[in-house]
Chains A and B, each alone.
Chain A
Amino acid sequence: MDAVLQVYRGDASGGGLKEYRVPLEEGMVVLDAIHHIQGHQAPDLAVRWNCKAAKCGSCSAEVNGRPKLMCKTRMDAYPAGEPIVVQPMKTFPIVKDLVTDVKWNYEVNKKIPPFTPKQDAEWRWKQEDIDRVQEFRKCIECFLCQDVCHVLRSHERKDAFAGPRFLVRVAGLEMHPMDSGNRATFLKDDAAIGLCNITKCCTEVCPEDITITDNAIIPLKERVVDEHYDPLRKFFRLFTGKKGS
Chain B
Amino acid sequence: MTERFESHDVDVLVIGAGGAGLRAAIEASALGARVGVVCKSLLGKAHTVMAEGGVAAALAHVDPRDSWKVHFKDTMLGGKLLNNWRMAQLHAQEAPDRVRELEHWGAVFDRTQDGRILQRNFGGHSAPRLAHVGDRTGLEMIRTLQDHGVHQGLEVYMECTVTKLLTQDRRVVGAFAYWRETGRFVTFRAKAVVLATGGVGKAYKITSNSWEYTGDGHALAMDAGAELIDMEFFQFHPTGMVWPPGVQGLLVTEAVRGEGGVLRNAAGERFMERYDPKRMELSTRDMVARAIYTEVKEGRGSPHGGAFLDISHKQAEIVKKKLPSMYHQFMDFANIDITKGPMEVGPTVHYIMGGVRVDADTGAATVPGLFAAGESSGGMHGANRLGGNSLSDLLVFGRRAGAGAAAYAQKAPGHAPLDPAQISGAERELLTPFERSSGPDPYSIHRRLQDSMQSLVGIYRTEQDLKRGIEAVQALRLEAKTMRVEGSRAFNPGWHLARDLDNMLLVSEAIARCALQRKESRGAHARLDYPNPDPALGRVNSVAVREGDEVRVSQAPLPEMPDELRALVDAEPVTAKA
On A, residues with C-beta under 8 Å from B are 11, 25-29, 32, 38-40, 43-58, 72, 74, 95-97, 99, 101-103, 106, 109-110, 114-115, 117, 123-127, 130, 133-134, 137-141, 169, 173, 176, 179
Contacts and interface: CB of A to CB of B under 8 A. Distances in A.
A103 B487 CA distance: 25
25 contacts: A25-B245, A27-B246, A27-B247, A28-B244, A38-B493, A39-B443, A43-B443, A48-B42, A49-B211, A50-B47, A50-B212, A53-B250, A55-B138, A58-B45, A95-B181, A110-B151, A117-B106, A123-B103, A125-B111, A137-B108, A137-B139, A137-B140, A137-B143, A169-B147, A176-B108
Contacts of B244: 25-28
Given A43-B443, A55-B325, A137-B140, A115 B105 contact: yes
A46 B246 contact: no
B49 A51 contact: yes
A186 B487 CA distance: 45
Given A54-B329, A55-B49, A44 B494 contact: yes
A52 B250 contact: yes
B106 A173 contact: yes
Contacts of B247: 27, 52-53
Given A95-B491, A137-B133, A52 B245 contact: no
Contacts of A58: 41-42, 45
Nearest to B444: A39
Interface in B446-500: 447, 485-488, 490-495, 497
Range of interface residues on B (Cβ < 8 Å): 35 or more
B251 A53 contact: yes
Give chain A's interface secondary structure class. Answer: loop
A203 B329 CA distance: 20
A176 B491 CA distance: 39
Contact of B487 (A44, A124, A125): A44
Interface string B159-184: 00000000000000000000001000
B45 A56 contact: yes
B114 interface: yes
B427 interface: no
Q: Nearest 7 A-B pairs (CB), nearest first?
A: A27-B244, A44-B487, A43-B494, A124-B115, A115-B106, A46-B491, A32-B246
A124 B460 CA distance: 47
Nearest to A122: B115
Contact of A114 (B42, B50, B116, B147): B147
B49 A106 contact: no
Contacts, number: 165
Interface string B431-445: 000000000011100
Nearest to B114: A124
Contacts of A28: 244-246
B105 to A, nearest CB: 7
Given A44-B495, A55-B49, A109 B325 contact: no
A72 B106 contact: no
Contacts of A115: 105-106, 147-148
Nearest to A32: B246
A48 B41 contact: yes
Nearest to B103: A123
Contact of B116 (A11, A52, A97, A124): A124
A72 B332 contact: yes
A57 B46 CA distance: 11
Given A27-B244, A29-B246, A126 B493 contact: no
Nearest to A57: B45
A130 B491 contact: no
A11 B44 CA distance: 25
Contacts of B156: 106
Interface in B200-222: 210-212
B110 interface: yes
Nearest to B489: A44
Interface string B210-250: 11100000000000000000000000000000011111001
B528 interface: no
Given A126-B111, A137-B108, A55 B50 contact: yes
B328 interface: yes
Contact of B245 (A27, A55, A103, A106): A27
Given A28-B246, A51-B45, A125-B111, 13 more contacts: A27-B246, A27-B247, A39-B443, A43-B493, A44-B488, A53-B251, A54-B325, A56-B210, A95-B181, A96-B490, A97-B491, A115-B148, A130-B111
Q: Which of B181, B334, B486 has the most CB of A within 10 A?
A: B181
B561 interface: no
B150 A99 contact: no
A40 B446 CA distance: 12
Contacts of B522: none
B491 A43 contact: no
B49 A134 contact: no
B493 A45 contact: yes
B110 A141 contact: no
B104 interface: yes
B108 A43 contact: no
